[in-house]
Amino acid sequence: MTCHYLRKRGKPLANDEQKNRSPRNWPKLLGWTVVPVLLLAAWQISAVHLQQPWLFPPVSRVVEQLLHPLRQHYASGSLLMNTSVSLLRVLIGFALAAVVGIPLGVLMGSVRTIRGLIEPLVELLRPLCPIAWLPFAIAVFKLKTVPQLFGVRFSHTILDHLQLGMIFVLFWGGFFPILVNTLDGVMGVRRNYLLLAKTLGASRLQSFVHVCLPAAMPMILTGLRQGIATCWFVIIAAEMLPGSDSGIGYLLIYAADQSAMDIVIASMIIIGVVGALLSFIMRWMMHSAVIWQGKE
């Protein structure tokens, strides 16, 4: 009935693409513009009225902090410096997790013996929150940094903030999502594709390189995306714990101790934005690497 009515009025049934562009999508448009502005305005007005900036600072003060990312905050450094430290720690921990996790996942996925030997261990360690490793890591690595590994006591660069303990914990954060997804990806390769490759003359090694790996690639990239997101969660929590002396999580907890709620909120915004950016970059890389995903 509805359909008939619409046809009579000469309205073509819009496909998804048209829907997105049509004015019918006004809720989404308002959601991105008017709603945030209203919220910020409400925040600003109530904060100015309340006059308790140590508890509820006005937007303007938070924005002011964000506009001065190089300002030194007491002994804890600037927003930019601390964000860079956190990001660098995450990238190194994540890279290590990928370098170990992907090959191990591929190996476990293709060699039954290795999978049998390692899988129980993985299942036991995986549910353990990576943060739980921190006390152990600090006890083992003390406050040793990456330059000290190479015999340099103080490099007087950002590298002095790369404590081995932090990287160890980040490693565990990224390792399991990467390992488990890679394993699933390699084990989930459709047998038909392997048979097809075989009849077309591929050797076992060629099947592995030209069929297993590309077929598992979407899952490997999913693992990387989950891994880097977990690392970013983990680093913030780890930096908020005792034993840390830098990083955006450290700045956040330090500013909270000083009742500098504007810096706390500015840090929160940065954490959110960096997390979203990391996710966006990974998604973009995935999109161009596996345009065929889900379209078999």
Partner 1 sequence: MKLNDPDRPETKVALELRGVSKSYCSESGSLVQALDGVGLTVQEGEFVVLIGPTGCGKTTLLNIAAGLLAPDSGQVLLGKGLRQGDNIPCVFQHYTLFPWRTLLHNVTFGLEMRSIARHDRNDTARALIAKVGLSGFEGAYPHELSGGMRQRGAIAQALAIKPKLLLMDEPFGALDDYTRMELQQMLIDLWQESQITVLFVTHNIDEAVVMGDRVIVFSERPGKVIKKLQVKLSRPRRGLSQEFTKVLVELRQSLGGYVWPGE
Distance CA(226)–CA(220), nearest Å, equals: 10
Distance CA(200)–CA(163), nearest Å, equals: 51
Residue ranges binding partner 1 (CB under 8 A):
190, 192-193, 195-203, 206, 210-211, 214-215, 217, 290-292, 295-296
In the complex, the smallest distance separating the C-beta of residue 89 from partner 1, rounded to whole angstroms, is 34
Distance CA(164)–CA(290), nearest Å, equals: 34
In the complex, the smallest distance separating the C-beta of residue 226 from partner 1, rounded to whole angstroms, is 21
Q: Considering beta carbons, is residue 96 or 215 the nearer one to partner 1?
A: 215
**Contact criterion met (CB below 8 Å) for 72 and 275:** no
Q: Considering beta carbons, is residue 75 or 205 the nearer one to partner 1?
A: 205
Q: Considering beta carbons, is residue 203 or 259 the nearer one to partner 1?
A: 203
3-state helix, strand, coil in the chain (%, to 5): 75, 0, 25
Q: Considering beta carbons, is residue 207 or 226 the nearer one to partner 1?
A: 207
Whole-angstrom CA distances from 112 to 64, 79, 105, 108 are 58, 48, 12, 7
In the complex, the smallest distance separating the C-beta of residue 200 from partner 1, rounded to whole angstroms, is 4
Q: Which helix (H) or strand (E) holds 135?
A: helix 134-141
Amino acid at 40: L
Q: How many other CB atoms are there within 10 angstroms of residue 57's CB atom? A: 22
In the complex, the smallest distance separating the C-beta of residue 227 from partner 1, rounded to whole angstroms, is 22
Distance CA(190)–CA(207), nearest Å, equals: 12
Q: Considering beta carbons, is residue 207 or 244 the nearer one to partner 1?
A: 207
Q: Considering beta carbons, is residue 71 or 190 the nearer one to partner 1?
A: 190
Residue 145, SS3? strand
In the complex, the smallest distance separating the C-beta of residue 125 from partner 1, rounded to whole angstroms, is 32
In the complex, the smallest distance separating the C-beta of residue 204 from partner 1, rounded to whole angstroms, is 11
DSSP 209: I
